[in-house]
Structure 1
Amino acid sequence: MNKSLWISSSEGNKYRVLDEDKRVECLIVGGGIVGITTAYLLCKEGYKPVVVDADYIGYGATGRNTGKITPQNGIKYSDIYKRYGAENAKKYYEANNEALKLIEKIIDENKIDCDYERAPAYIYAENKSDSKKVLKEFDICKEIGINCEFIMDIPLPIESYGAIKFNVGAQFNPKKYIDYLARKVEELGGEIYEKAPMKSIDKYKDIITVHSLGGYEIKTDKLIIASHYPFYDGLSFYFARLRPERSYVVAGEYNGEFPQATFINASTPKRSLRIYNDGERRLLLVAGESHKVAHKEDEDHYGALEEYGKEKFGVEKYQYRWSTQDYITSDNVPYIGYLNSVTKNILVATGFGKWGMSNGTVAGIILSQLYINGKSKYLSTFTPSRSEGYLTGEFLKENTDVGIQYIMGKVKIASKDMPDRDKGKIVSIDKSKFGVYRDAEDIFHIVDTTCTHMGCELKWNPLEKSWDCPCHGSRFGIDGEILEGPATVPLKQYGSETYNEINPNLI
């Protein structure tokens, strides 16, 4: 059974379930690091935000990452420098460095027990072909003032053809951190509701009405969308500007030598490494195997990571394995700011590109500043309204793939045979396509597999036992419940009198 080390290590509080209509000044949708950090910063200034989450606090990407906090975000700065110039590359670094300092300050002030420790961050070339881009990245990093150094060898049993050592960085248990911060939000007068997925919104003059899947509504003056993927688009076309990717992590006990540092390669397949010590166990985390959602569903990603850990470090047994989903923008810079150029009472943060602990905290800083003052020195770098983000090869490539996946899903012929036990597949029933999962107890779970976001056809994910959308990354459980957005409506089960409700939330 796949389980996250972080979620297993911290149960957290249980918060109220939304069971009535509400009228609030500020509504934050999303209880991960973005939503809770924003709420905490607003509470510190005397505001009383209301946070709602579709699941439990910290059970999304915040509880399913590697726990790295670093302005070293892969080969990042040379790309920003090329697209947007030195000033924006420097602002990106300054924002992430400020986020790191804020997390450390919050931990120190509140004496949060979350296994926080400073740790330099390395990015290294595993082959000669990557050494040039690592050296180019180093040159840009030095030019914009990052505290880093170039070295040839890294302190691991891995061959290196050059590496950058960022002398700023940290690592922690993100779930323990966010659980404490959520408790602090309520102590300071904020409200938190769990198991409260939001479905859609209406706008009338300056009032926003947010409708929950459970049938309740919340009226608010300002809305902050911190739901990982925006559940409301507002004709901003985020579905066309975000690429959904899944990544994987395995963790096993390891007592060999490993420095107090984090590591990531500049190659493909990606490999990310760190040690976690909770005082009783010392675990090696091996992460990577990224791919677009529903595009490599038949590969054993966990097995590949476990084999890498065994080959390089001798780890034989793994106690934890988990996956996470993230969204990558067309220009590889997160979208943080106003939903679009004309809507000033809806704020959004998304597209962290697998660096959610630092960029999620950056989002908390920017969103709280915009809410309070209407301005932030980082807004121009992260604004979702930047037009240059559309004009990329990645934008065209991604949307071409979406079109291909849509057509292929519609024309693919369904099987006439039911799956074996503990298997799932698309089956033709009553001349229509349905997704059938046959569990270990020989019980059939049958759902309509047309995605409720924009109508693409879902694929079976055997690693996670879910139905995944190859177009925009929505994921559903075996009985149709929503696991990941952008979909806001569950799948219909076989026997229902109606087909799936398609609800793209564009307007």
Structure 2
Amino acid sequence: MRDVPVRPGSYWMEYGDDTARPRPPDGLDVDVAVIGAGIAGICTAWELARAGRTVALLEAHRVAAGVTGHTTAKLSALHGNVYQRLRSTRGAQGAALYARSQQDAIGHVVAVCQELGIDCDLERFPAFTYAETAKEAHTVEAEAEAAREAGLPASYVKETGLPFPVAGAVRVEDQALFHPRKYLYALVADLERRGGQVFEGTRIVGLREGEPCRLTTEDGRTVSARDVVVATHYPVFDRSLLFARLKPHRELVVAGVIPAGQDPLGMYLTPEGTTRSVRTAPYGEGQRLLIVTGEKFTPGAGRVGERYERLETWTTQRFPDVRLTHRWAAQDNEPTDGVPFVGALHPRARHSFVAAGFNSWGMASGVMSGKLLAARITGEKLPWTDLYDPVRLKPLKEAPSLMRFQAAAAGHFVGDRLPFVTGGGRASAIPPGGGAVLRSGARHVAVHRDEAGELHALSARCTHLGCLVRFNDAERTWECPCHGSRFGTGGEVLQGPAVHPLERVHDIEEDDDA
């Protein structure tokens, strides 16, 4: 396998500032505490500050540096073949409300950019869901009809701006592309001008609901708030069993420079295979940055390097003049019925809220979540509030996905512990840069060998619910296949729902079984 000739790291992450934001003072008291400074958390905090609330935005790492910093940044209401599914599971009215809410979010970004004078490379383009095979073209044609019935400006076409033929495509007009961190940094700056407080390096590990609610950080500080919003991508506090209704997946991204004249002038997605998504962004005079996403897989599925190569090969075959420059990965969660969970954290919650399950469409859905949650907290109700309510549970509609999600998680929880899964080999067989789960007596140990040859050993039990982690060979991380938690090779939490690091193990030897 040849190396992908690109530097690892998200293109979006190259933009930012060096502002050092502190941890909160112990005993901080605000109207609303928002946990998570991705697009959903930032938009929620900003909307509430604009409504006159005192707000604390609490981020475990850095602002807009998690999933939001690794997106493909499409602002679109066309989400694959979602409208056929919604028409079946939520009815024609539900599909129409979904379309309205997503279109409203796009319009809101445009309006906010004008209001605050934000230069975030905002561009308006059509969005396409396309098929390359005649069989899939029938599905795409049906999606065009469903999207049109839901109120989108959708049509079925057989010609696109792609440099290869398609069998058919849904086309929805006047969608948008933008630079997410340029937009969100501007919102954070305005949030702080309005008196909002932003804290980084602040992992929240405890939530006591009440009046007020009380949050606890990993270093023992407390924050009190009348209302709390959990916007941590995958909920770190799960009191409505959302972990059973969300399935994590990762997707890879490669990006490279193409001549501006080869821009396909739109955003494209095919659900065929392991998906392919195409868009471009401004990149200097006479050039565009081509961004291609695909190779969807469950965290911990392995052979990530091979998946990158497949995505690179597809990109260079379809766009022969591309000069690849970047690669990165994104993660999201699929909800059981295809609709994000935005609203009350659990059935009895009065002052705790959640936003989760954006299923690879987090830009428009994150903006939508900010408006919806701010409205709920300030006593308003948007037309689509009930559509997204996490408390909803429609057993007949959700049962097939619910059973599929939990069967997969149970398979990992039980099957990964069988001897033949982790046996066969020794720590001495792990190459520099590699990792494996070893059996050391009755326990499972996650062992990584760094480039200098030193072994680093951790408990292989995810600190969320105890599933066994697996090694990602391309990103050199430990990943939980059950609920998507990710850890560095030193055990540190990179991505929740886990909030505690993997425990270090100190007695692994070269001849331990692997």
What band does the TM-score fall into relative to the shorter chain? over 0.9
Partner residue in 2 for 1:440: 451
Match of 1:254 among 248, 255, 258: 258
CA distance in 2, matches of 1:8, 1:189: 27
Matched, 1:107 2:113: yes
Kindly state the Cα deviation for residue 359 of structure 1 after the two structures are TM-superposed. 0.6
Conserved in 2, the CA contact under 8 Å of 1:309 and 1:315?
no
Match of 2:412 among 396, 405, 411: 405
Kindly state the Cα deviation for residue 154 of structure 1 after the two structures are TM-superposed. 1.4
Partner residue in 2 for 1:417: 427
CA distance in 2, matches of 1:427, 1:268: 33
Partner residue in 2 for 1:503: none
Q: Quick one: percent identity of the two aligned structures? A: 29
Partner secondary structure for residue 427 of structure 2? coil
Question: Once the two structures are superposed, what CA deviation does each residue of 1:315-366 show, in whole Å capped at 9, x if it has no partner?
Answer: 4531110101101101111001111221111011000000000011110110
Partner residue in 2 for 1:504: none
Partner residue in 2 for 1:323: 329
CA distance in 2, matches of 1:325, 1:12: 25
Once the two structures are superposed, the pairs formed by residues 341-360 of structure 1 within 5 Å of their partners are 341-360=347-366
CA distance in 2, matches of 1:476, 1:315: 37
Match of 2:268 among 260, 263, 270: 263
Partner residue in 1 for 2:316: 310
Partner residue in 2 for 1:288: 294
Match of 1:193 among 194, 199, 203: 199
Greater shift in the superposed pair: 56-65 or 205-214: 205-214
Kindly state the Cα deviation for residue 44 of structure 1 after the two structures are TM-superposed. 1.3
Conserved in 2, the CA contact under 8 Å of 1:115 and 1:278?
no
Kindly state the Cα deviation for residue 305 of structure 1 after the two structures are TM-superposed. 1.5
What stretches of structure 2 of length at least 5 have no aligned partner? 1-6, 508-514
Query: What letter matches 1:463 in structure 2?
Result: A
What is the total number of aligned residue pairs between the two structures? 494
Match of 1:242 among 246, 257, 277: 246
Kindly state the Cα deviation for residue 296 of structure 1 after the two structures are TM-superposed. 4.2
For normalisation by structure 1, the TM-score amounts to 0.94
Matched, 1:221 2:226: yes
CA distance in 2, matches of 1:68, 1:461: 26
Conserved in 2, the CA contact under 8 Å of 1:12 and 1:179?
no
Question: Once the two structures are superposed, what CA deviation does each residue of 1:226-279 show, in whole Å capped at 9, x if it has no partner?
Answer: 111111112x11111100000111111111422331111131221111111143
Matched, 1:181 2:187: yes
Matched, 1:69 2:79: no
CA distance in 2, matches of 1:376, 1:12: 37
**Aligned Cα root-mean-square deviation (Å):** 1.7
Residues 344 and 297 of structure 1, relative CA distance in 2, 3 Å threshold:
farther
Question: Once the two structures are superposed, what CA deviation does each residue of 1:78-131 show, in whole Å capped at 9, x if it has no partner?
Answer: 110111111110000000001000101111111112111111101111111111
Partner residue in 2 for 1:141: 147
CA distance in 2, matches of 1:180, 1:109: 11
Partner secondary structure for residue 293 of structure 2? strand
Partner residue in 1 for 2:28: 22
Once the two structures are superposed, the pairs formed by residues 464-503 of structure 1 within 5 Å of their partners are 464-495=475-506
Greater shift in the superposed pair: 438-447 or 357-366: 438-447
Question: Once the two structures are superposed, what CA deviation does each residue of 1:473-499 show, in whole Å capped at 9, x if it has no partner?
Answer: 111100000011111111111139xxx
Partner residue in 2 for 1:394: 401
CA distance in 2, matches of 1:437, 1:169: 44
Kindly state the Cα deviation for residue 297 of structure 1 after the two structures are TM-superposed. 4.1
Kindly state the Cα deviation for residue 207 of structure 1 after the two structures are TM-superposed. 2.4
Partner secondary structure for residue 457 of structure 2? strand
Query: What letter matches 2:222 in structure 1?
Result: E
Partner secondary structure for residue 17 of structure 1? coil
Query: What letter matches 2:411 in structure 1?
Result: I
Kindly state the Cα deviation for residue 416 of structure 1 after the two structures are TM-superposed. 3.0
What stretches of structure 1 of length at least 5 have no aligned partner? 497-507
Conserved in 2, the CA contact under 8 Å of 1:476 and 1:491?
yes
Partner residue in 1 for 2:464: 453
Kindly state the Cα deviation for residue 136 of structure 1 after the two structures are TM-superposed. 0.8
Partner secondary structure for residue 253 of structure 1? strand
Partner secondary structure for residue 16 of structure 1? coil
Kindly state the Cα deviation for residue 430 of structure 1 after the two structures are TM-superposed. 6.0
CA distance in 2, matches of 1:481, 1:431: 24
Residues 474 and 70 of structure 1, relative CA distance in 2, 3 Å threshold:
same
For normalisation by structure 2, the TM-score amounts to 0.93
CA distance in 2, matches of 1:11, 1:282: 24
Conserved in 2, the CA contact under 8 Å of 1:138 and 1:150?
yes
Partner secondary structure for residue 478 of structure 2? strand
Conserved in 1, the CA contact under 8 Å of 2:343 and 2:355?
yes
Partner secondary structure for residue 344 of structure 1? coil
Partner residue in 2 for 1:156: 162
Kindly state the Cα deviation for residue 12 of structure 1 after the two structures are TM-superposed. 6.1
CA distance in 2, matches of 1:232, 1:377: 27
Query: What letter matches 1:462 in structure 2?
Result: D
CA distance in 1, matches of 2:280, 2:434: 35
Conserved in 2, the CA contact under 8 Å of 1:252 and 1:315?
no
CA distance in 2, matches of 1:218, 1:19: 8
Partner secondary structure for residue 113 of structure 1? coil
Once the two structures are superposed, the pairs formed by residues 1-150 of structure 1 within 5 Å of their partners are 1-11=7-17, 13-150=19-156
CA distance in 1, matches of 2:490, 2:83: 43
CA distance in 2, matches of 1:396, 1:17: 41
Kindly state the Cα deviation for residue 14 of structure 1 after the two structures are TM-superposed. 3.2
Residues 167 and 213 of structure 1, relative CA distance in 2, 3 Å threshold:
same
